[in-house]
A and B are shown apart, each in its own frame.
Chain A
Amino acid sequence: MKKNALKIISFFLVFAILFSGFYNVLQYRFEDEDGIEGMKQFYKLKENSVDVMCFGSSHMFVDINTAVLWDEYGIAAYNLGGTIQPLWNTYFYMKEALKTQNPKLLVVDCFSASLTEEYQEESGMIKNTFGMKFSKNKIDAIYVSVPDNHLAYLLGYPGFHSRYSVLEREDFVEGKGIAHYDCWKGQHLLTQTNEEVAGLRMENIKEISDTEEIADKQSEYLQKIIDLAKKENIPLLLINTPYFPTEREEKIYNRVAEIAKENDVPYINYNLFYDEMGLDFSSDFADGHHLNYKGTPKFTRLLAEDMKSLFEIPDHRNETDYWDYDMMSACYHQKTANQELIETENLEAYLEGLNSENYLVVFGLSGGFAYADNYAIIGNALAEYGIYPDAEAGNQFYVINQKDGQVIYSSLDNMKQTDSISTATVETKQSRWDSELGSYDVVSVRCPTEEDYENGYSSVVVEYNHRIYCPIYEGLTIFVYDTLNETMVETVGFYLENGSFCLNKWR
C-alpha cells in the first residue's frame, strides 16, 4: 500500500515538474503590443512605484512615450494595454492594476469607444486576458470578451499547446531574451514611417460638432471605468491620441466628451491639436493609427504638459529607487539612435553616427579600397582609432569597442607573422575573429576563405547568429552591434564603383 502510494505521489510530482516546464515554454510570448507581455511585466513592478497608469489599445501603448515622460518630466508611467483592447478589457486591466499600484493619475485612451462589436475578433481579443494572473478579474474579463470556450481560455494551456510549431529562442529564455526587458514600461516603439498617411488628414475636423451614440457595451464599461476611478479616489484623464479618425469616430469622441463632462472628468481629444504639438505628417506617423519614434515625443510632451497642469504628479528623477526608469530611457534612446543610423544613407554621416558608446563596430575593407579617390573619408575616420589600413594587404577588418574607442581586434596583426630566421613577413592563410555578444548572440568575422569565394563572397564576411552577411563585392563593410540592447543594428556596405567609394550604403 505504502509502495503504491509512493508511486502515485512520484507520478504526480514528475508530472507537475514536466508540465510546468512545457507550460512555460509553450505559453504565448507575443510582441509587446499584444497585451500579454505588458501585463506580465506589470506584475513584476514594485508596489506603488507607478504614478501614471495608462490604459487602452495600441493607440495608447504606442503613442505615449514613457521615456520622454521620464526624461523630461520625471513622470514614472506604465502603459498597460493590448491590441484592439475594448473598454471592457481596459476596465479589468484597471481593476487588476489597482491591486498593487496606487497611481496619482489614470489615463485611458478612448479609441475603443468607437468600436461597435459585441465581441471583437476572438483570437485577437482573448489574448488580452492571457497575461493576467488567475483571478476573478481574469475570469470576468474572459466571460465578457468571448461568447464561448471560457474554460479553455481560463485554463490557458488548451489555447496555446499547439504553439509547438512556432517556438523560437524567446520562448525558452527569460524576458524573451531581450536585454533589460525587466525595465521596459509598456511602450511599443514603432520605427517605420508612412508618408502617405498625410492624405488621410481631415481638414475640417474641428468643425465636427455632432455626436453619435457609443455602442451599449463600450458605453457601459466607459461608465464603469469612470466609477472605478471615483471609487478609488484616483484622478482620471480620458484622451484620444492623435491619428486620422473618420467623421463617425469624431462624433463618437464628441459623445465621449459629453459623458466626461457629465461625470466631471477631463477629456482631451488630441486629434484637435495636431498643430499645437507640431506633428509633421510626412515623417511622424508609422501608419494611419500610430505615431512613430519621431512623432511620439511631440505628442507626449503636450500630454505631459496637460497632465502637469491638471494634476499633481511628482518628479522622481535622480531617485535611486527609480533606476529602472533610467535604464528604460537609455535603452529607448539607443533604439532610436539605432533607427536613425539605419536611416542614414550617406557615408560621412554614417561614420559620424557610429560614435555611440554602446556600439561594437567592425570595419571590413576589401579589394582596392585604398586607391579610391575618396578614400580619405574612411582613412581619416579610421585614423581616429589609430587604424592605418595596409593598401597592399587586400581584405582586412578591425573590431572597435566604442565604449573606450579601443581596437579589440585587427585582422592585419593576425594575418602577418614574423619568420624568426629570415625576419621576412609571411601571410597566414586566413584571419578570423569569433566572439559571443550579449547573452545569446555569436558573431564570426573573417576574411573570405576559398569556400567563401566559391560561394560568391569576396569581401569581409560577417556571420551573425550563423547567418552570413556579405553585402558588397569590394569596398567597406560595417557591422554594428548595440551592446546595451544586445542586438545587431545592421551590417551594410559601401561598395567601390569606378574608383570611388559609393556614398550610399548597400544592404
Chain B
Amino acid sequence: MLFNSYSFMLFFPIVLCIYFVIPKKARHLWLLVASYYFYMGWNAKYAILIAISTIVTYLGGLCIEKWKEKRKWIVAGVVLINLSILFFFKYFDFFLGNVNRILSLFGANSLQKGFDILLPVGISFYTFQALGYTIDVYRGTIKAEKNFLKYALFVSFFPQLVAGPIERSGNLLRQINRVEQIKLWNYRRITEGAVLMLWGYFLKMVIADRVSIVVDQVYDSYWMYGSVEIIIASVLFAIQIYCDFASYSQIAIGAAKIMGFELMENFNTPYFASSIRDFWRRWHISLSTWLRDYVYIPLGGSRCSKARKYLNLLLTFLISGLWHGANWTYVVWGMIHGIYQIVEDATESVRDKLVLKLHIMTNNFSYRFGQILVTFVLTDFAWIFFRANYLSDACQMIGRIVTKWNPWVLFDGSVYNLGLNITEVHILLVALIVLFLVDLVRYKKQVTLDMFLSTQNLWFRFAVIFGLLFFILIYGEYGPGFSAKQFIYFQF
C-alpha cells in the first residue's frame, strides 16, 4: 500500500479511529494487525518473509540472553539466515547475471534458473531493523523483548515498514512497550503529525513526481540530449530523490506522531551540507548511522591505521551502495562516495594550509556557499550513476556533458520540451522556492516545519496549511493518467 494511494487514504483514518477508541491493552495488537494488512496490500504471500525474519530475530534475542557463552554463534546464525533471505530475494538475479557474464568470457553455457523472484517491498529496511535489534541484544545495549507481539510490531510498524526510517530498538521498541501509556488526545502532537504528513505529500506529489517526468525523459533517451539537458535532468534528479525519499520519511514520521510515536529523523537539509561527511550526517540518517554502528565501527572504524580506516570507509559505502539496489550502478555510486570521503579526509590538512596561505576568509557566507555548492556538485555527479539505467549509460552521459555543449536550448524554448511545459515549470519553480524556504528555516533555526508552525499565530498556520493542501490537491501529480486535453475531440 503506497502512502499516496486511495487505499491508504481510507486505511489510515480507519486505523486511527479504531486505535483511538479501543482499550489501551489492545493498541499494540491492533497496530500489528494493521501493519500486516498494510504490507499484505502489496503482496499477501510475502508477509511470510517478515514473519520469518521476526521469528528468527525474536528467538535469536531470547537465545542470546539465555546462552550468553554461545551468543557469537547465535548472532552469526541469525544474521546469516536474515542475510540469506535478503540475498536470495534481492541479489540472486544480480549474482546470477554476473556469474553468467564471467562464464560467457570462458565460453561456458550460462546458468538458468527455473523461477522468477519478485523483490519484496521494504525487505532491506525491515531486515536491517531486525538485525540491528539482534546486534543490540548481543552487545547488551538492550534486553531481549519477551513479548512476541510487541516485537513483531517493532519489525513491522506500518508507517516505517517499507521505506524507513530504519528504527533502533532502543527508540521504537521502547515506545511500543509503553504504548498503553500514550496520551492519544493531544491536539498539538496530532496537528504537528498532520503537518508533517502534509509536507511529505507536498514533496512527493508536487515536486518529486513532477520532476521525475523530465528526469525519466532525459535519462531514458540521453542520446537525444546534449550537455545542458543532461545537467538539468541530473540536478532535477538530485531534487527528485531527495523529495521522494524524504517525503516517505516525513509521512511515516507524521503518521507515527499522530499515533503517539516519535520516529527518528531521517533527512536534515542534506543539500546544505558543507562536505561529503556532513552530507552523510544529513542524508538518510537512519541508514548511515546504522552502517556506522553495525558495519563501520565493528570493522575498526577510525581507531586504526589510515589505510585500514580508508578501507573500512570504502567497504561501508560499497555495502551502502549495494543495499540500495542490486545493480553495479549502485555499487559504483557507493564507491564514489567512499572515495569522496577518503579524499576529503586525506586532503583536509592540505586544504586547510591552502586556505591559510591564500588568505581565504572562512567565516563568511561566500565560503560556506562555496562549500555547499562544491558538495552539491559532487553528490549530484554521483547521482548520475545512481539514476542511470546501466553503468555504460552513466559514462556516456558524463561524456555528453563534456562534449555536447548546447547552451542555446536555454533560450530557444527547447527546455520546455522535456516533459514540462511553461505552466508546469512555473508551478515547479514556486514549489521549489517553498522547499528552499522550509529547508532554510530548518538549517538556520534547526526547527522542522511542524515545530515552526506550532509557534506561529493561527491565521499564519491556517494560511500555510491551506496553501500546501490546495497546492497538493490542484497541482499534485495524481489521478487517472490522462490529460485534460485528451478529452477534447470529436470522434463520432
Contacts and interface: CB of A to CB of B under 8 A. Distances in A.
Given A122-B482, A153-B480, A164 B488 contact: no
B456 interface: no
Contact of A124 (B421, B469, B476, B489): B489
Interface in B39-62: none
A26 B487 CA distance: 14
Contacts of A58: 490, 492
A185 interface: no
Interface string B476-492: 10111011111111111
A58 B421 CA distance: 33
Interface residues of A, number: 40
B462 interface: yes
Question: B interface, how many residues as a size bin?
Answer: 20 to 34
Nearest to B490: A33
A30 B487 contact: yes
Nearest to A146: B480
Interface stretch (A11-19, A232-240, A351-359, A367-375): A11-19
Contacts, number: 80
Contacts of B474: 22, 26, 161, 164
Nearest to B10: A151
Contact of A158 (B187, B478, B483, B491): B478
B423 interface: yes
Nearest to A83: B492
A48 interface: no
A166 B484 CA distance: 7
A7 B187 CA distance: 10
A159 B491 CA distance: 21
Interface in B437-490: 458, 462, 465-466, 469-470, 473-476, 478-480, 482-490
A446 B491 CA distance: 42
A91 to B, nearest CB: 18
Given A30-B487, A34-B487, A161 B492 contact: no
Nearest to A59: B492
Interface in B143-174: none
B6 A161 contact: no
Given A123-B482, A149-B480, A159-B480, A164 B492 contact: no
A18 B466 CA distance: 9
A83 B187 contact: no
Which of B458, B466, B489, B490 is the most central at the interface, judged by chain A CB atoms within 10 Å of its CB? B490
Majority secondary structure, B binding face: helix
B424 interface: yes
Contact of A22 (B6, B424, B473): B473
A197 to B, nearest CB: 15
A4 B479 contact: no
B479 A165 contact: no
B431 to A, nearest CB: 14
Contact of B6 (A4, A127, A151, A162): A151
Contacts of B462: 11, 14
A28 interface: yes
Contacts of B479: 152, 157-162
A249 to B, nearest CB: 12
Contact of A30 (B470, B488, B492): B488
Nearest to B475: A164
A162 B487 CA distance: 12
Given A28-B487, A164-B475, 6 more contacts: A22-B473, A30-B488, A83-B492, A123-B486, A159-B482, A161-B479
Interface of A: 4, 7, 11, 14-15, 18-19, 22, 26, 28, 30-31, 33-34, 57-59, 83-84, 111, 122-124, 126-127, 149, 151-153, 157-166, 289
20 contacts: A4-B187, A14-B462, A22-B473, A28-B487, A34-B487, A83-B492, A84-B491, A111-B492, A123-B480, A126-B480, A151-B6, A158-B478, A158-B480, A160-B479, A160-B484, A162-B483, A164-B474, A164-B475, A165-B423, A166-B485
Interface of B: 6, 187, 421, 423-424, 458, 462, 465-466, 469-470, 473-476, 478-480, 482-492
**What are the 7 closest A-B residue pairs judged by CB atoms, nearest first?**
A158-B479, A123-B482, A163-B484, A4-B187, A149-B480, A123-B486, A166-B484
